[in-house]
Chains A and B, each alone.
Chain A
Amino acid sequence: MKKMINFYLLEYAIGSLVRQKSKNIFITIILSLLTFLLTAVFFITSSIRYELNQTVDALPEIIVAQTKGGKHYDIDVSKADSILSITGINSAIPRVWGYYYFKNAGVNFSLVGVGEFEDDYKEILENGLLIGRGVRDVLKKSYFKEYFNFILSDGSLLKLDIKGEFDADTELESNDMILMSKDNLRKIFDIDETKATDIVVSVANPDEVQTVASKIQLLFPNTRIITKNDLKISYQNIFDYKGGVFLALFIISLFTFFIIIYDKASGLTSEQTREIGILKAVGFTIEDILKEKFYEGIIISLFAYIIGVILAFTFVYIFNAPLLQNIFTGYSELKTSFTLPFILDIQTLVIVFFLSVPIYISATIIPSWRVATMDAEEVMR
């Protein structure tokens, strides 16, 4: 049985790479940078996607929102009771929440009302707030340390004490959040006692979500029903889309790279031409020389790939991806300041592999072939 890898040829290929140091270092740097950029972007998106999925998982199975002509409106609290009558439903709770714009810092806070059944918080929230970490930092800058003044719709102020802050598993969601009692929230957003922002429904059997959702839709045709799955899909699409747009830009760099490699691999010094002549004269076939060139290509592209991936790893998970991260987060400034959770994403590594190694090798095919089929008799002259 013949050995699969010809180590002497491999050794020769490595030597050949070293002999043309400057050219190969240049190529390695460019290829590493490209893989680094691509891997980093994918790492960031998959981390954010994971974070969002965690958040979505914690969400209720079904959200029912009132619409009028497709526009979102407050929903009647009484509808929750009608929904409860559908079999298979655990609970249907009206929620009160909304975004509050804080002009001083130019950011949005998510205000969430805690209702009468959530006893644990009741006492704390009687006349106070629980805030997320991001909110605390923003408020500190505006010298709100013990209380905060909300501006109501009639122009008057509502002063509420800050009772504490909370940690949560997923920072992306909770960073900009303020918890308060439903009554206070109703005052801030000017919502009637009989109204709520939406109704959340929890279903006993996850397989029945789709059925229950369609039953609610039948019951109230002018509501919009959002299931957890819908949210997941739309998140996935947003991130695939953003990743895709980036990839489209990447394609352009890739083909530029292709041309650079093609050019670099085509330019041969007289010394290299002589070497190929020698190899042929001592009995190398065209295929042997192509194989040697292929070894060179594999070594350089795999090396650059590994370097690029390691760099991306360090950049994203150790330095938390400065600059790049902002492209993918940031619908409110507050939301950007979270740590990316570590996800080992093999799929990303596979994609990046397909976009670096084969592309590099393909760019060297024609130049290598030119070299390998050069007339060997030149070496005799």
Chain B
Amino acid sequence: MGRNSSMAEVKEKIARKVASFFKPGDVVNLGIGIPTMVGNYIEDGVWLHTENGLIGYGPAPEKGKENEYLTGAGAQFLTAYPGAAAFDSATSFAIVRGGHLTATVLGALEVDEKGNLANWSRPGVIVGMGGAMDLVNGAREVIIAMEHTAKGGKHKILERCSLPLTGAGVVTKIVTDLCVIEVAKEGLVLKEIEEGVTLEEIREKTGARLIVPQHLEKR
């Protein structure tokens, strides 16, 4: 990723990378922000689940074609593909908890080397976890899609999360504008480095120990 990429391009690149992990038949739940953008780049046949009770939604409708019976978890209007199914909230989370969801893609405030995730609560703000805690415990893969650091370069990938956790030991993969990291038993394993990014830069912007396979050491 070029150093001069705009913020929108950076986010799009992260979304495209995450989308490339999915294949037809997968069922995926997307959180808000960069995760929502993943929906723009998934292959045909990857099905999207929204926790308020639908599998098989498509992009936002054209103006004037909004349907009040077809909305997402943020109350936004959706479209549905042929074969879509609607269900109640208990069924929706049976899909999630029962292991029927291939992956959930979420943003993070903090993520650490144990795969702990903090993304629902910051001091002084009362929001609630919604479905995030169920999603991170139930989905077969929990993929974090985010910019590598917070505003001002503050680390988001840490040895230990400091904010209240959404889930303990739940994250499987972290995709940022700099790299792809897998959360393994032994720690955070660097899997891919974005073009034009150096290992040194990644290390500097990561607040945890990174395990770097030999073939990536030269970068």
Is the A/B pair a real complex?
no
